[in-house]
Amino acid sequence: MAHISASVYTSHVPAIGAALDLGKSHEAYWEPVFKGYEFAKQWEKEQKPDVVFLVFNDHATAFSLEMIPTFAIGTAAEYTPADEGWGPRPVPKVIGHPKLAAHIAQSVIQDDFDLTIVNRMDVDHGLTVPLSLVFGQVDAWPCPIIPFAVNVVQYPVPSGRRCFMLGKAIRKAIETFDEPLNVQIWGTGGMSHQLQGPRAGLINREWDNAFLDRLIDDPDALSRLPHIDYVREAGSEGIELVMWLIARGAMNDTDGGKKPTVRHRFYHVPASNTAVGHLILENN
Amino acid sequence: MSLDKPYMDVPGTTIFDADKSREGYHLNQFCMSLMKAENRTRFKAGERAYLDEWPMSEEQKQAVLDRDLNRCIQLGGNIYFLAKIGATDGKSFQQMAGSMTGMSEEAYRDMMVKGGRSIEGNRYTGEKK
């Protein structure tokens, strides 16, 4: 049977992608950011996941205002990196895992989460920047990816609680898949940032670190945090952090299992307008 | 009965909710059209004429022509859509975000390097700093 071995959490700032693609990663501004991901790159080489289930958000790229799915699972064979207006990132094509994705869709929808199924979607920096940070600059991504898009652009976005419960349903689905796959689940976006209005540039270091503490130790309570707390304390775009709760909900301890081990924790301000957070939790 | 919108008292912040989205539909879809290179070229060749192809309000068109992002947001624009205008103009996300704060590009960048805008005094409208 398939199993979830670990969850990985990371911010996805577009400027990080640009810094990598333009060869700026050794500049003094960027070096501390990339240093925070050296552990992950080495760790992934040892972990050799068979599939990554990647929770991310689209930024008005694949989804305009014509259609706004709250939760969308990619069941396609492959996905092309999108042109977001600056030209597509020079990164490998994303190869999907249609068989596992279809299985998860079937299971999770029957578990009362009404997913939208997507068979054609270009993927933007929300998906490709986490891949670059964690896998590095490679000719091909080391494993298939299942993109799982969450609407965090138009309010109301799904609640933290809904995301956490969805994570549990995703775990159940993965564990009933009849192949011995090592699956990782990633939660991406955040941490505190605001990109709009006179309050743009907001960062809340204390709140972010408390979020990381609670995500590790008491995700059930954290999942009950209302939207307004994210908006007020972590900025209008800090709401992306609800996506981390999907990955956290899929860990064993949310269903009577053992607590995960914290393998790596990193926090840095700034990357462009944003606080960068990164965490690796291994299942026990 | 009106809906609960607890985010109305967050200073300097407009939440892009379903009402705003309805108001800004054509403005945001115009921005979306700039994802295509040929549309960027046509827009740059004649901004007013290109905008007139869209059923946007006069205020929305003027805000785009003025590159007044705060005004665009007031009129239903969303930052991820408005970013397509910035990309067309060759602006970075940091330049766009900074342009809404009344700070110079350099001052905004310095503020970010020093840890960003503090949350203290920035939680509620009218709060003392």
Q: Which residues of A touch B56 (CB under 8 A)?
A: none
* Mean local confidence (pLDDT), A52-63: 97
Cβ–Cβ below 8 Å for A232 and B123: yes
Within a domain: A268: yes
- pLDDT at position B128: 65
- pLDDT at position B1: 66
Task: Tell me the β-bridge partners of A10.
Answer: A188, A278
A272 → chain B, closest CA residue: B94
The pLDDT > 90 percentage for chain A reads 98
CATH of B16-87, one of 3.30.360.10, 2.60.120.1600, 1.10.700.10, 3.30.1600.10: 1.10.700.10
Closest chain B C-alpha to A228 CA, distance in angstroms: 6
The number of folded domains in chain A is 1
A125 is catalytic: yes
Taking the C-alpha atoms of residue A249 and residue A213, their distance in angstroms, rounded to an integer, is 15
Asked if the model's pLDDT at residue B126 lies above 70, the reply is yes
* Mean local confidence (pLDDT), A143-150: 98
- pLDDT at position A210: 98
A86 vs B17, higher pLDDT: B17
Within a domain: A23: yes
Cβ–Cβ below 8 Å for B94 and A272: yes
From the candidates A3, A125, A227, A264, which is the catalytic residue? A125
Within a domain: A282: no
A181-197 pLDDT, tens digit each: 999 999 999 999 999 99
Q: Which of A60, A32, A8 is nearest to A189 (CA)?
A: A8
Query: Do A8 and A186 meet the contact criterion of CB atoms below 8 Å apart?
Result: yes
For A205, counting Cβ atoms within 10 Å of its Cβ (0-12 exposed, 13-18 middle, 19+ buried), the class is middle
Enclosing domain of residue A23: 3-277
* Mean local confidence (pLDDT), A159-170: 98
A153 → chain B, closest CA residue: B16
* Mean local confidence (pLDDT), B38-49: 97
Cβ–Cβ below 8 Å for B117 and A202: yes
Best mutation target among B20, B43, B54, B112 (most A Cβ atoms within 10 Å) is B112
pLDDT tier for residue B4 given thresholds of 50, 70 and 90:
confident
pLDDT tier for residue A86 given thresholds of 50, 70 and 90:
confident
Residues 6 or more apart whose Cβ sits within 8 Å of residue A284: A252, A257, A258, A259, A260, A261
The pLDDT > 70 percentage for chain B reads 98
Q: Which residues of A touch B16 (CB under 8 A)?
A: 153-155
A193 is catalytic: yes
Asked if the model's pLDDT at residue B39 lies above 80, the reply is yes
- pLDDT at position A84: 84
B4 HSE (CA, 13 A, CB side): 4
Nearest to A273 among B34, B102, B112 (CB): B112
* Mean local confidence (pLDDT), B61-81: 97
The CATH number given to whatever domain includes residue A9 is: 3.40.830.10
Within a domain: A257: yes
Please give, one letter per residue, the 3-state secondary structure of chain A. CCEEEEEEEECCCHHHHHHHHCCCCCCCCCHHHHHCCHHHHHHHHHHCCCEEEEEECCCCCCCCCCCCCCEEEECCCEECECCCCCCCCCCCCEECCHHHHHHHHHHHHHCCCCCEEECCCCECHHHHHHHHHHHCCCCCCCCCEEEEEECCCCCCCCCHHHHHHHHHHHHHHHHCCCCCCEEEEEEECCCCCCCCCCCCCECCHHHHHHHHHHHHHCHHHHCCCCHHHHHHHHCHHHHHHHHHHHHHHCCHHHHCCCCCEEEEEEEEEEECCEEEEEEEEECC
pTM listed for this prediction: 0.97
Q: Which of A82-96, A152-166, B14-28, B63-77 has the lowest mean pLDDT?
A: A82-96
* Mean local confidence (pLDDT), A132-161: 98
Query: Do A166 and A113 meet the contact criterion of CB atoms below 8 Å apart?
Result: yes
Q: Which residues of A touch B6 (CB under 8 A)?
A: 226, 228
- Beta strand A261-271 with A94-95 is unpaired
Asked if the model's pLDDT at residue A241 lies above 70, the reply is yes
- pLDDT at position A277: 98
Nearest to B122 among A15, A202, A270 (CB): A202
- pLDDT at position A270: 95
Cβ–Cβ below 8 Å for B80 and A154: no
Nearest to A153 among B25, B35, B80 (CB): B80
Q: Which residues of A touch B124 (CB under 8 A)?
A: 232
- pLDDT at position B21: 97
Best mutation target among A196, A202, A237 (most B Cβ atoms within 10 Å) is A196
A62-78 pLDDT, tens digit each: 999 999 999 999 999 99
Does B17 contact A at CB distance below 8 Å? yes
A193-219 pLDDT, tens digit each: 999 999 999 999 999 999 999 999 999
Q: Which residues of B touch A275 (CB under 8 A)?
A: 116
Does B57 contact A at CB distance below 8 Å? no
| ipTM confidence | 0.95
